[in-house]
Amino acid sequence: MSHAYDTFETLCQQNAILRETVSLNSGIQLAAWYNKHDTITVKSNHHTLSLYVEDGYESYQKTPGGWKNGGGPDRFCLMPKESESTWDIRDDLSFVHLYCTDEHLRDVGEKIWDKRPLSLTLDERIFGSDPKITALYRQFLLGCDWQQHANQLTLSTASTLLLTHLLQNYSNVQWKLPVVTGGLSPFVLRNVLAFIEENLGQPLTLVELAAQAALSEYHFARMFRQSTGLAPHQYVMQRRMEKAKALVQHTSTPLTDIALACGFNSASHFSNRFRSVTGMTPSQLRAASA
C-alpha cells in the first residue's frame, strides 16, 4: 500500500537533497535528507518523526515569539498530522524522517495491546531529546543499506519499535507495555525456524515471521528472543551467513548466486557482510578451502 506523504513531497520541491528513501511493506516510509539555506513550511496529512543526524545547530523554527533554534545531532522533532510549522535552515543539516499515518499507529496499538485506540493524538515535540529514539535510529536505521532485501527485517523491526515508543510516550494513549514471559512452544518454534530456513533467499519481514506463530510482532519478537537468545533479525542474519559459508566452502556455486540464495541483492553488500563475520571475503574463503 503506497501513501503519498505531504512532507516528503514538499521537501522534494525545495532545496533539500534526498540521500536515500525506502517504503516498508506496511507503507511506512523512511527518508534521509540533507538541507542548507532553505525556508520551508510543512503541513501534512500524516505524522513525521525527524532525527537530526549531523549538524542542525542553525535550524530555526518560527514561533509566536520569533525564530527559535535548539537543534543538533540526536535532537528529534515529532510533528503530528495537521500541525503546521515553518523552518529556516541557515546552515548544514542532515536528518532522517519516518512518515506514518494514524492507521499505522492504530495497527501497532492493536497488535500489542489487542485494542484499538478510538481517538489518537500525538504530542508535538521540537528539538526534543530521547535516548531511546536516538538508539533505535542509530543502531538500526543509520548503519544499514536501506535498499538491501536482507535488511528489510531490521528496518521493519525498528519502525515498529519507534511507533510503539511514540504510542507509549508521546500520545494520549500511553498504555503500559504488556509483560511477555516465556518463549515459543517447541512446536511453534520448530515451524518458525523451518520457515526461516526455507526462505533465507527472500526479504523476510517481522510480519511474516510473527504470522507463522499467529502472534503480534511485539509478542513474537520477545518470545523468539526468549527461545533463541537472539532477536529475529539477528537470528536470520546468522542463518544467512551460515548458509553462505557452507555454500562457499563446499560447493562450486557462483558467488553471485550464493548472495541471492542468502537474501542479498548486491554482491558487494554480501561480500562486506561476509567479511565482517568471517574475516575473509567469499572468494578468499573459497580459495583457502580449495
pLDDT, residue 4, reads 85
Q: Mean pLDDT, consecutive 10-residue segments, the chain of 290 residues?
A: 82 94 91 95 94 95 94 95 94 96 88 77 94 91 86 89 91 78 90 96 90 88 93 94 95 94 91 93 92
pLDDT, residue 126, reads 95
Residues 277, 262 contacting (CB under 8 angstroms)? no
pLDDT, residue 85, reads 94
Residues 96, 20 contacting (CB under 8 angstroms)? no
- Give me 11's grid cell: 521537501
Q: Model pTM?
A: 0.72
Q: What is the dihedral of CA 42, 45, 47, 53, to 10 degrees?
A: -40
> Where are any strands of DSSP class E within 103-192?
125-129
What b/e sequence results for 131-163 when a residue is b if at least 16 CB atoms lie within 10 Å of its CB, and e otherwise?
eebbebbeebbeebbbebbbbbbbbbbbbbbbb
pLDDT, residue 2, reads 53
Report the alpha-carbon distance of residue 32 to residue 259 in Å, rounded.
27
Q: Judge residue 71's burial from the number of C-beta atoms within 10 Å of its C-beta, 0-12 exposed, 13-18 middle, 19 or more buried.
A: buried
Report the alpha-carbon distance of residue 136 to residue 248 in Å, rounded.
33
85 closest CA partner among 25, 38, 41, 50? 41
Report the alpha-carbon distance of residue 138 to residue 127 in Å, rounded.
17
pLDDT, residue 1, reads 41
- Give me 247's grid cell: 555454500
pLDDT, residue 118, reads 76
Residues 177, 160 contacting (CB under 8 angstroms)? no
Rg of the Cα trace of the chain? 21
pLDDT, residue 216, reads 84
User: What is the 3-state secondary structure of 112-129?
Assistant: HHCCCCCCCCECCEEEEE
Please name the helix (run of DSSP H) or strand (run of DSSP E) that holds residue 286, with its range, or none.
Answer: helix 282-289
What pairs with residue 85 in β-bridges?
42
